[in-house]
Structure 1
Amino acid sequence: MIRTNPVAGATPAPERADPVPAPDRADPVRIGDQLYDLLIRDLDAAGASYRVLDHPPEGRTEVVSALRGHSAAQAAKCLMLRVKMDKKRSQYVLAVIRGDARLDFAALRELLGGTYVAFADAATAESLARAPSGAVLPLVYASEMLLVVDTSLAESSEIFFNAARLDRSLALDTQDYLRIARPVLARISTW
């Protein structure tokens, strides 16, 4: 099933037939492992080129980038946001920007035609992402979310991100990422 995309001209993202359960605070490792396994199955099925990187548990972009041995500019920083569309409607957005960038709230608001943009509260963010903060994937596995990726992320040949766990990351070919994720691409960050 295809969900509609509120951005004019954007490609709709497919809805997952096998959703991952929301994180269980009593056992976040198990949920992270389930989402990680789903991610790997999806990447393998799509013929993606990636590398698995194990490292000490860390969710802060600058620190984990150093542990993985790459610049923060190659990190995919994932931000869970709530865009107020009008008085009664909101759209949850997963914004993915370079690790050394800052989100341009005004650009995202204008792109979506919203009235207000704010970070989603932690409980909602973890529920929608199916992962703990710091391990959010740059892919959408929840039908109620929209994926928007900053165009500057496409400048690297490879992107790095925590893979639903704080102790494991992926280095993923950027063109494979864009082909599989099918995000809305727009300039939504500043440096």
Structure 2
Amino acid sequence: MSDISSRNIHQHLLDILTTEQARFRVMEHEAIGKCEAVSDIRGTDLGQGAKALVCKVKGNDVKQHVLAILAADQQADLSRLASHLGGLKASLASPAEVDALTACVFGAIPPFSFHPSLKLVADPLLFERFDEIAFNAGLLEKSIVMDTQDYLRIAQPELVAFRREPAAE
């Protein structure tokens, strides 16, 4: 994806989806930070939600910012993410880094990278269970529900399994 050309990420996203003829709909709702609550408002399953985490991967001469996308009903295993990308550890980025790399506040980040220094990766489970994914669209009070295959075609994330696996019993 291209560099951030405007700090209006919502409109930038709509422009791209429209140009690419994606199947999507925009929903307006209260600005709610909890994945479960916004899923209820959207009328979507929690597992359809695309949770976006801005991370830093370091070590082994790796220093990379990553936009890591996973299903909202899953938890990230940041050590798996770091390992896959050749690093030793990963951590969440600071609010200032998130703003600089996404032009969005926490909770409003769409699963698209518009910054050349922000690598986009996504856990494949998000795309295996539902025909549509849902996400906040650059604003806490607006969501997009879109066709899963259109998302994969347009965003082209690197697919990386980094969700936390359940503990063996």
Output the TM-score relative to the length of structure 1.
Answer: 0.81
Gaps of 5+ in 1: 1-13, 22-33
Do residues 99 (structure 1) and 86 (structure 2) align? no
On the 8 A contact 2:79/2:88 being kept in 1, the answer is: no
How many Å apart are 1:78 and its aligned residue? 0.4
How many residues end up aligned between the 2 structures? 164
Structure 2: which amino acid aligns with 1:91?
Q
Do residues 62 (structure 1) and 49 (structure 2) align? no
For 1:152, the equivalent position in structure 2 comes to 125
CA displacement, residues 146-175 of structure 1 (integer Å, 9 cap, x when unaligned): 000000011211000011111110001010
Do residues 80 (structure 1) and 54 (structure 2) align? yes
Please give the residue correspondences for 1:8-27 in structure 2 after superposition, counting only pairs within 5 Å. 14-16=1-3, 19-21=5-7
Q: Distance in 2 between matches of 1:152 and 1:185?
A: 9
For 1:177, the equivalent position in structure 2 comes to 151
Residue 106 of structure 2 aligns to a residue in which SS?
coil
Q: Distance in 1 between matches of 2:14 and 2:37?
A: 24
| Structure 1 ranges of 4+ moved more than 4 A | none
Of 21, 27, 48, the residue aligned with 1:53 is 27
For 1:164, the equivalent position in structure 2 comes to 138
Gaps of 5+ in 2: none
For 1:140, the equivalent position in structure 2 comes to 113
For 1:111, the equivalent position in structure 2 comes to 84
How many Å apart are 1:105 and its aligned residue? 1.5
On the 8 A contact 2:60/2:86 being kept in 1, the answer is: no
Q: Distance in 2 between matches of 1:63 and 1:84?
A: 34
The root-mean-square deviation of aligned C-alpha atoms, in Å, is: 1.4
